[in-house]
């Protein structure tokens, strides 16, 4: 299968998770697409498309949400679509709400698999404002990694089934 993994990452965690998904999809021919560098990728040649972003203040960045709506036709033409988010929200219900805010409903319905992969707080990558926000919304005061490898395993297993 020809698979594209398309991601938008600010501090590198979603990129890392996209790489972990790629490493598990050994039987596929995988192309990695960084939406920061390639804003309008051609999706026509893929059988599977996996799209992922990080969450900031409850939702994926506008540029990512616009990518999803701008590429509706191509995404619906693809047989299998997987959606994932990276974030530090621990509450399952709130993770679901972040999913609903970040991906259009029709795309969520069309997708084969959806996953919330956890994330990281990388203080050394954050600007002053981000550090202030993170200290307010969490108890973290130093970098912490909470990437959910089980969620990634399950996501890939379901995607490949
Ligand atoms: C300013 C700021 C706000 C954040 N807000 C949220 C949030 O509302 N929900 C959430 O799940 N994660 C939130 N996070 C955590 C990020 O999603 C997490 O750091 C993620 O791993 C970043 O991935 P990236 O480096 O690929 O952008 C926030 C992080 C920062 C720095």
Residue-by-residue pLDDT tens, the chain, 161 positions = 999 999 999 999 999 999 999 999 998 999 999 999 999 999 999 999 999 999 999 999 999 999 999 998 888 888 899 999 999 999 999 999 999 999 999 999 999 999 999 999 999 999 999 999 999 999 898 999 999 999 999 999 999 99
3-class SS letters over 93-109? HHHHHHHHHHCCHHHHH
Is 30 inside a domain boundary? Answer: yes
Please give the Cα distance from 81 to 62 (Å, whole number). 20
128: in domain: no
The distance of Cα 40 from the centroid of its chain, to the nearest Å, equals 17
Residue 47 contacts by C-beta under 8 Å, 6 or more apart in sequence? Answer: 1, 2, 3, 78, 79, 80
Residues with CB under 6 A from ligand 1: 9-14, 54-58, 86-89, 98, 119-121, 126, 130, 133-134
120 and 144 Cβ atoms separated by less than 8 Å = yes
∠ Cα 148 151 152 (to 5°): 90
Q: What is the CA radius of gyration of the chain?
A: 15
Domain residues for the domain of 32 are 2-119+148-160
In a domain, 42, yes or no: yes
Whose CA is closest to atom 25 on ligand 1? 11
Please check whether residue 155 lies inside any domain of the structure. yes
Among 51, 88, 122, 146, which is best to mutate for testing ligand 1, by the most ligand atoms less than 8 A from CB?
88
In this structure, the strands spanning 48-56 and 59-60 are: antiparallel
Assess if residue 43 is contained within a domain.
yes
pTM of this prediction exceeds 0.95: yes
Residues 6+ away with beta carbon under 8 Å from 10: 54, 56, 61, 125
Q: Report how many domains make up the chain.
A: 1
Separation of CA 44 and ligand 1 centre (Å): 31
141 lies in a domain?
A: no
Rounded to the nearest whole angstrom, what is the distance from the C-alpha of residue 121 to the centroid of ligand 1?
7
Whether residue 77 lies inside any domain: the answer is yes
The answer to whether 87 and 56 have CB atoms below 8 angstroms apart is no
């Amino acid at each position: 299968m020809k698979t594209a993994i398309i991601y938008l990452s600010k501090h590198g965690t979603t990129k890392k998770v996209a790489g972990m998904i790629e490493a598990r999809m050994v039987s596929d021919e995988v192309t990695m697409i960084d939406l920061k560098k390639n804003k309008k990728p051609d999706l026509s040649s893929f059988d599977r498309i996996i799209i992922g972003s990080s969450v900031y203040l409850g939702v994926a960045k506008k540029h990512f949400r616009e990518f999803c709506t701008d590429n509706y036709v191509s995404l619906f033409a693809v047989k299998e679509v997987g959606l994932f988010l990276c974030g530090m929200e621990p509450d399952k219900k709130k993770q679901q709400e972040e999913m609903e805010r970040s991906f259009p409903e029709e795309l969520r319905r069309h997708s084969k698999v959806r996953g919330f992969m956890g994330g990281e707080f990388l203080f050394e990558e954050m600007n002053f404002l981000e550090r202030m926000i993170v200290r307010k919304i969490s108890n973290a005061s130093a970098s912490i990694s909470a990437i959910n490898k089980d969620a990634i395993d399950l996501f890939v297993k379901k995607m490949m089934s």
